[in-house]
Amino acid sequence: MLKVYVAGHQGMVGSAIFRLLKNDKSINLITCSRRDLDLTNQASVQSFFKIHQPDQVYLGAAKVGGIHANNTLPAEFIYQNLMIQANVIDAAFQNGTKKILFLGSSCIYPKLATQPIIENCLLSGKLEKTNEPYAIAKIAGIKLCESYNRQYGSSHGIDYRSVIPSNLYGPGDNYHTDNAHVIPALIRRFHEAKIKKQKTVTVWGSGTPQREFLYVDDMATASIHVMNIDKKIYDKVTQPMVSHINIGSGYDLTIKDLAERIKSIVCYRGEIRFDLSKPDGTSRKLVDSTCLNMLDWQPQISIEQGLALSYEDFKENYSKYI
């Protein structure tokens, strides 16, 4: 039986991967909560891997947040993510894990990258300042996987891969008032404005930046697909030092359009105001998913479906966020 460890199984992406894998009777799923295993503690992680010795690892554990969180907690974002990645990847190697799928972020790409962004744009320009520490940590995770492959791939038979999702949303998202990403932040803001009968909802920035969004269940199916595809096929669309693959919906929209769609789904009747004193971030961020499409994968959930499903999930779990 294949032993598979999902690191971060209680997070949005990890929980989606866990939901899909738990139905496979040929897999022995391994999980451990943050309370029981601190992934920033090297000795604890080494001990965990020595005991369980998984065959595959989905590395979805990370400290994540929106623009506000990244701006106010840069040290935590770079330190914790560097430690998690280094500890898990090295412990996996030291204890015989042959396959890892590392989950990155599209913020790894330069702020002024040509759109849509292809994989080899990595390290070709300056990063967006608002999330630079987090992006640097994620780049390090990708390069860790690549470096272990280059040094130990042939001798130890390891195959460590990385995927770069566009902006994710869906069940299990973070709806915290201060550090949520844009979709969960807007869902909560419009919902509470409707309940309180507020006349306006404020959205950060000008509303003109364009963003691509991917429903988390699509991300989970793509991750499992990439993890298990034959290495010879995978190697045809990657290179030893450009080994990551983008995962996106292939469609982007402005923050203004997004806000209008969420307003409609929530059935909020007031007005939207844009706070120009707040940062916009990168003007556009659309990833090129050609390589993934060549591996015979396409997203299944549209933005309209995904937003509706996300709002239903939010309402069902609203008591957790009050």
- Residue 181 reports pLDDT greater than 90: no
| pLDDT, tens only, 222-271 | 999 999 999 999 999 999 999 999 999 999 999 999 999 999 999 999 99
- Alpha carbons 229 and 54: distance in angstroms, whole number: 18
pLDDT of residue 160: 98
- Residue in 5, 58, 109, 134 annotated catalytic: 134
| pLDDT, tens only, 72-108 | 999 999 999 999 999 999 999 999 999 999 999 999 9
| pLDDT, tens only, 144-172 | 999 999 999 999 999 999 999 999 999 98
| pLDDT, tens only, 197-228 | 999 999 999 999 999 999 999 999 999 999 99
Residues ≥6 apart with Cβ < 8 Å to 14: 6, 7, 8, 58, 60, 61
Q: Which domains does the chain have, with CATH numbers?
A: 2-320 (3.40.50.720)
**For 240-251, what is the HEC assignment?**
CCECEEEECCCC
Residue 5 pairs in a beta bridge with: 30, 57
196 by Cβ neighbours in 10 Å (0-12 / 13-18 / 19+) ranks as exposed
pLDDT of residue 87: 98
pLDDT averaged over the chain? 95
DSSP string, 114-175: PSSBPGGGTTSSPPPGGGHHHHHHHHHHHHHHHHHHHHHHHHH--EEEEEEE-EEESTT---
Q: Is 134 a catalytic residue?
A: yes
Lowest mean pLDDT, pick from 112-116, 127-131, 229-233, 312-316: 127-131
- Residue 135 reports pLDDT greater than 70: yes
Torsion of the alpha carbons at 275, 269, 267 and 201, rounded to the nearest 10 = 20
Q: What is the CA radius of gyration of the chain?
A: 19
Q: How confident is the model at residue 322 (pLDDT cuts 50, 70, 90)?
A: low
- Residue 317 reports pLDDT greater than 90: no
Answer left, alpha or beta for residue 108, where phi above 0 means left and psi between -120 and 50 means alpha. Answer: alpha
| pLDDT, tens only, 278-292 | 888 778 889 999 999
